[in-house]
Structure 1
Amino acid sequence: MAGLLLSGCGLNSGSSLPLAVEPGIIQPVPELEGQTITVGSKNFTEQLVLAYLGEFALAAAGANVRDLSSIQGSSTARNALTSDQIDVLWDYTGTSWISYNGNNDPIPDARAQFEAVQKQDLERNGVAWTAVDYQVDNTYAFAVNKDAAKRLGVRTNSDIARVVAERPEEATFCVETEFASRNDGLPGVEQTYGFKADPSKVKVLTEGPIYQATAQGTCTFGEVFTTDGRIQSLDLQVLADDKQFFPRYNVGVTLRDEMLKRYPQLTQVFQPISERLTNEELMKLNAQVDVEGRDPADVARDWMAEQGLVKIPGQS
């Protein structure tokens, strides 16, 4: 089912699940007993946490789980799914709508966005969505530190245009490589909100340093993800997307359609996670990794056990 890899892609066959679990609310599923299922993820904290949540759920259901997390880049991870290198990938509706399917206009309503993504992904790519979580929306945002918010009087993305026009020396940005060029990133924000950032004042950084640079005032406006635990730990203020530019990025499980048809029971395995996971809960889990330095697998298993979804061997 999984493990046949394309040469030269940089992926390997995956490793075994690092921690053991026993069934809890998630019970063994006879159809999955002993079946090898490979779970992949992109290479940032939230994706690692989500991958392990899914892996522990599958293990409790009786599957033989292979871990192929931390794939670099959204497109590479999606290609790994469609080329049978992985079987399960937690993904985001907005990413599929904009990046994978090439749509330019996001759909503000979360359910309508999901339904459109579900239809297009199935028809165009043979990818099925299940266990979509409307309580989690990890969309883009701009954040500022509290000093900048007070000094510049910024609360919304519309205020960025005012700062660019009236105080250009303060209009500095820290963004990721993808965000700097994606049409659901900085170029789209500039068009929607009517400003043009000075290229010399746009710093392209990796995800982690952006939060610290924004907190320290190295840049005024930092690109963040709304479920990132560092927003709270660094006391950043998220600006409101008052023109609703950013797409909804609700999280859900993606699989090849033939996989879900073969094992429709996978929906009942993943659904209890989606029913319990919220933006606030996910932000706490992310913070345990990024702020406290805990391992994503430990964080995921502890949460699953706290929710009663699985049990940790040896614990009552």
Structure 2
Amino acid sequence: MGVAARRASVLVVVALSGCVSAAPPGEVIDDQAITIASFDFAESELVAEIYTDALREAGFRATHLRRAGAREVLLPALERGLVEIVPEYSGSALSFLGGDATSDAAATAASLDALVSPRGLDALTPAPAQSRNGLVVSAATAARLGLRAISDLGDDAEQMSLGGPPECPERPLCLPGFERAYGLTFESFLPLDVGGPVTAEAIKRGTVDVGVLFTSDGNLAQGDLVLLEDDRQLQPAESIIPLVRKDAVDRFGEGLVEVLDRESAQLTT
């Protein structure tokens, strides 16, 4: 497949999703390079860039397809060979594919590898770094309502608005999960962003009462937001873990895996 045809194929997959952005204008996929695709939020883009830089430093030709879309887009693109690597989150990827994710990082990674292997993919060694979904409120709201854990929201949730990723109402570990595990029914849901900057600002401004942020979000260290404890352990292990096409390993050699594993080992939260 030529460069133009391959890039067009990725954009067709993106366009068919109907809900994600295309690759940045002018970004070309190099057929002779390893293409790493990131999800449409900043943390994923940063992680993919780290892996891309590591491969380049090791002598590989590597291309980063930035903010290529959501999981509904990137996993099919990976399976079809339109990209070679997608840095994933173990629990969410496993749940998305129909598996049962748990808080055990090693077991979740192993289950994911077993599930993707028949699809022509390998789940490599998970990084120590994890980034789970979390419910966050302002420090003022936490103090006013005595909130420490998600279960503390209780009936108050019925008078509260929730903000977060647009796909949250459909994702099993987002709104449906909070309803199932905690019995929470929010008054309304406001679709915001994936990865937090807009959501964090909406919580601070009072645009929403509760927001879905990653537990690794830097905004949580500033003191004006409170991450509620997941006291019923809804969220599984969410190790950063590269999904790689088996034929890419065959094509580029085991050195590809060695570089990715070495870089993963250095990713911590």
Do both share a fold (TM > 0.5)? Answer: yes
2:262 is the alignment partner of 1:269 = no
Residue of structure 2 in register with 1:110 after alignment: 105
Query: Post-superposition shift, 1:234?
Result: 6.5
Residue of structure 1 in register with 2:67 after alignment: 70
For the residues of structure 1 that align with 2:13 and 2:177, how far apart are their CA atoms?
31
> For structure 1, which runs of at least 5 residues remain unmatched after alignment?
18-34, 280-316
Query: Post-superposition shift, 1:2?
Result: 8.4
2:212 is the alignment partner of 1:205 = no
Query: Post-superposition shift, 1:158?
Result: 0.6
Residue of structure 2 in register with 1:45 after alignment: 42
Matches within 5 A, 1:166-205: 168-169=158-159, 171-198=160-187, 201-205=188-192
Query: Could you tell me which amino acid in structure 2 is paired with residue 93 of structure 1?
Result: S
Matches within 5 A, 1:112-261: 112-123=107-118, 125-133=119-127, 135-164=128-157, 168-169=158-159, 171-198=160-187, 201-207=188-194, 208-233=197-222, 235-261=224-250
Query: Post-superposition shift, 1:154?
Result: 0.6
For the residues of structure 2 that align with 1:131 and 1:108, how far apart are their CA atoms?
16
Query: Could you tell me which amino acid in structure 1 is paired with residue 201 of structure 2?
Result: Q
Q: Which whole-Å deviations, capped at 9, do the CAs of 1:217-260 have from their partners, x for residues lacking one?
A: 22221110111222224631101101100122111111112222
Query: Could you tell me which amino acid in structure 2 is paired with residue 45 of structure 1?
Result: A
Residue of structure 1 in register with 2:18 after alignment: none
Query: Could you tell me which amino acid in structure 1 is paired with residue 106 of structure 2?
Result: R
Q: Contact 2:13/2:77 (CA < 8 Å) preserved in 1?
A: no
Q: How many aligned residue pairs are there?
A: 253
Q: Contact 2:36/2:52 (CA < 8 Å) preserved in 1?
A: yes
2:93 is the alignment partner of 1:96 = yes
Inter-CA distance 50–174: structure 2 relative to 1 (3 Å threshold): same
Query: Could you tell me which amino acid in structure 1 is paired with residue 102 of structure 2?
Result: I
For the residues of structure 2 that align with 1:203 and 1:188, how far apart are their CA atoms?
17
Residue of structure 1 in register with 2:13 after alignment: 9
TM-score by length of 2: 0.85
User: Who wins on radius of gyration, i.e. which is larger?
Assistant: 1
Q: Which whole-Å deviations, capped at 9, do the CAs of 1:265-295 have from their partners, x for residues lacking one?
A: 112212232222111xxxxxxxxxxxxxxxx
Query: Post-superposition shift, 1:205?
Result: 1.8
TM-score by length of 1: 0.73
Query: Could you tell me which amino acid in structure 1 is paired with residue 180 of structure 2?
Result: Q
Query: Could you tell me which amino acid in structure 2 is paired with residue 237 of structure 1?
Result: V
SS where residue 249 of structure 1 aligns? coil
Query: Could you tell me which amino acid in structure 2 is paired with residue 122 of structure 1?
Result: S
RMSD of equivalent CA atoms: 2.4
Q: Contact 1:157/1:241 (CA < 8 Å) preserved in 2?
A: yes
Structure 1 runs of 4+ with >6 Å offset? none
Q: Which whole-Å deviations, capped at 9, do the CAs of 1:89-148 have from their partners, x for residues lacking one?
A: 11111122111x123x4312111111111111112x221011311x21111000111111
